[in-house]
C-alpha cells in the first residue's frame, strides 16, 4: 500500500506543470507587442518587460475547462450560494452599506438587492476577488489557450490600456483565473466601458471603493437594458404534451403570450407582448420550469449562465426578505429594546 501511495504522489507531482515565464520571442507574442506599439504607442521595452514577467500557469487552463456553471446541475450549484451564512452576511453587508447602495440603485434604476446578489455570488461580498495576477491569467489564456486566444488577447490589450488610464500596476493587480478584477469581477474591457467613479475621487477603484463598485454594477445592468420595477423570474408549470422547448438556451425570443400559448402556466403582471424565455431547472427530483423576463436576461449578460442568474435572483430575494423581516421585528419591538446598527468599513 505504501508503494502504491508513493507512486501516486510521484505521478501527481510529475503531472503538475510548473508556471513558465512567457517567451516574448514567440511569434504571436511579438505580433501582440507590435500591435500595442502601433495602435496605442506603448513603449516597446516596457511592454516586453511586463510580458516577460508573466507566468503561464496550467492551473488557469484547468480552471477554464471546468467552470461550475457547466459542471453542476442547478440544485448542486444552488447549494453553494444559497447558504444560511451567505444570506446572513448579505444582510450584514447591505446594512453596513445601505446609503451607498441606495445611491447607486437610484442612479441606475436597479433595486439594491440585485447589486448585493451579484456581489454575493461573484466574490462573497468582496472577500474572494481572485488569487491570480491578472497579467498571468490573461497572458496564459491569450497565448496558451487556442480555443479563446483572440478574445483574451483583446482583454490583455484592454488591460494594458486600463493600467495606463487608471494607474493600475500591471505586475500586482490581482483577479480571477480568467482575469476578472475587483469586487464585481469586471473583465478589462468591461472595466473600461462600464465602471464608474461614483465617489468622485478622480479614479475608478473596484478593489477598495464600495461607491464605485455599486455604481459600476448598476451601470452595467442599466446599459444592458434593465427595466426598473419589472420582475426577473417566475415559477412555471408545463404540459409535457404541448411544450416543445428545451429550456436550455439563453435567447430572449419568446413573449409572455407565446409561452402561454405553448403550454406554460405562470403568473405575471407583464403584458402578453413582454419578452420572456423558458428555463429548464434541474432539481433533485427532476426538471422543473421557470420563466425569465428581460431583467433575467440582463443578469445573464454579466455571466452567460442561467444557473448564475438564478443564484443571483434567489440570493437577492433571500437577503431582501431577511432585511424586511428584521425591519418589521424591529418596528414591533419596544423602543428601549432596539439596538443601533454597528459601524462598518467603507472598504471591500
Name the packing angle between helices 294-302 and 112-123 (round to 10°): 30
User: In this predicted model, what pLDDT tens digit does every residue of 166-183 receive, in sequence order?
Assistant: 888 999 999 999 999 999
pLDDT at 274 > cutoff 60: yes
- pLDDT at position 343, please? 40
Residue among 113, 122, 155, 157 flagged as catalytic? 122
What does 236-280 look like in DSSP terms, one character per residue?
EEE-TTT----S------EEHHHHHHTTEE---SS-TTSEEEEEE
Name the packing angle between helices 98-108 and 84-96 (round to 10°): 80
Residue whose C-alpha is closest to residue 223's, from 186, 271, 175, 177: 186
Helix (H) or strand (E) holding 70: helix 68-71
Q: Is 162 helix (H, G, I), strand (E, B) or coil?
A: helix
Average pLDDT on 197-216 reads 96
> What count of other Cβ atoms lies within 10 Å of the Cβ of residue 138?
28
- pLDDT at position 312, please? 98
Task: Say how many residues make up the chain.
Answer: 348
- pLDDT at position 346, please? 47
Establish whether 122 is a catalytic residue. yes
pLDDT at 340 > cutoff 50: no
- pLDDT at position 10, please? 31
pLDDT at 5 > cutoff 50: no
- pLDDT at position 6, please? 37
- In the chain, % of residues over pLDDT 70: 90
Among 47-61, 298-312, 333-347, which is the least confidently predicted range?
A: 333-347
Which three three-digit cell numbers place residue 289?
Answer: 420550469
User: In this predicted model, what pLDDT tens digit does every residue of 125-167 receive, in sequence order?
Assistant: 999 999 999 999 999 999 999 999 999 999 999 999 999 998 8
Q: How is the beta sheet containing 264-265 ordered, strand by strand?
A: 254-255, 275-283, 286-293, 233-238, 264-265
Cell 491578472 maps to which residue?
Answer: 134
User: In this predicted model, what pLDDT tens digit does every residue of 228-239 receive, in sequence order?
Assistant: 999 999 999 998
Report the DSSP beta bridge partners of residue 238.
264
Confidence band (pLDDT; 50, 70, 90) for 347? Answer: low
pLDDT at 244 > cutoff 90: no
Q: Set out the domains of the chain in order of their start, with CATH numbers.
A: 17-66+130-208 (1.10.8.350), 233-302 (no CATH)
Beta strands 132-133 and 174-175, pairing class? antiparallel
What is the distance between the alpha carbons of residues 223 and 196, in angstroms, rounded to a whole number? 12
Q: State the average pLDDT for the chain.
A: 90
| Nearest-5° Cα angle at 74, 93 to 141 | 80
Amino acid at each position: 500500500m505504501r508503494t502504491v501511495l508513493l507512486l501516486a504522489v510521484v505521478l501527481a507531482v510529475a503531472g503538475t506543470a510548473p508556471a513558465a515565464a512567457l517567451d516574448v520571442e514567440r511569434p504571436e507574442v511579438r505580433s501582440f507587442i507590435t500591435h500595442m506599439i502601433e495602435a496605442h504607442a506603448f513603449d516597446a521595452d516596457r511592454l516586453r518587460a511586463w510580458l516577460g514577467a508573466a507566468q503561464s500557469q496550467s492551473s488557469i487552463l484547468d480552471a477554464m475547462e471546468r467552470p461550475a456553471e457547466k459542471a453542476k446541475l442547478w440544485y448542486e450549484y444552488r447549494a453553494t450560494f444559497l447558504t444560511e451564512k451567505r444570506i446572513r452576511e448579505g444582510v450584514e453587508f447591505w446594512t453596513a452599506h445601505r446609503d451607498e447602495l441606495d445611491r447607486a440603485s437610484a442612479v441606475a434604476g436597479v433595486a439594491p438587492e440585485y447589486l448585493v446578489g451579484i456581489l454575493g455570488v461573484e466574490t462573497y461580498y468582496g472577500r474572494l476577488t481572485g488569487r491570480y495576477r491578472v497579467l498571468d491569467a490573461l497572458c496564459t489564456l491569450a497565448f496558451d489557450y487556442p480555443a479563446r486566444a483572440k478574445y483574451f488577447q483583446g482583454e490583455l490589450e484592454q488591460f494594458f490600456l486600463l493600467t495606463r488610464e487608471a494607474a493600475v500596476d500591471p505586475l500586482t493587480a490581482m483577479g480571477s483565473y480568467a482575469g476578472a478584477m475587483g469586487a464585481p469581477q469586471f473583465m478589462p474591457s468591461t472595466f473600461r466601458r462600464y465602471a464608474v467613479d461614483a465617489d468622485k475621487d478622480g479614479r475608478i477603484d473596484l478593489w477598495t471603493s464600495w461607491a464605485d463598485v455599486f455604481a459600476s454594477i448598476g451601470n452595467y445592468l442599466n446599459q444592458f437594458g434593465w427595466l426598473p420595477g419589472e420582475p426577473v423570474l417566475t415559477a412555471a408549470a408545463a404540459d409535457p404534451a404541448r411544450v416543445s422547448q428545451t429550456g436550455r438556451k439563453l435567447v430572449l425570443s419568446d413573449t409572455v403570450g407565446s409561452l402561454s400559448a405553448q403550454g406554460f402556466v405562470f403568473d405575471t403582471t407583464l403584458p402578453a407582448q413582454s419578452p420572456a424565455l423558458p428555463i429548464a431547472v434541474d432539481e433533485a427530483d427532476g426538471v422543473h420550469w421557470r420563466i425569465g423576463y428581460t431583467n433575467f436576461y440582463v443578469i445573464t449578460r454579466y455571466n452567460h449562465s442561467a444557473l448564475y442568474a438564478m443564484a443571483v435572483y434567489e440570493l437577492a430575494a433571500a437577503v431582501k426578505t431577511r432585511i424586511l423581516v428584521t425591519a418589521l421585528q424591529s418596528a414591533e419591538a419596544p423602543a428601549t429594546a432596539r439596538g443601533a446598527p454597528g459601524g462598518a468599513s467603507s472598504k471591500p
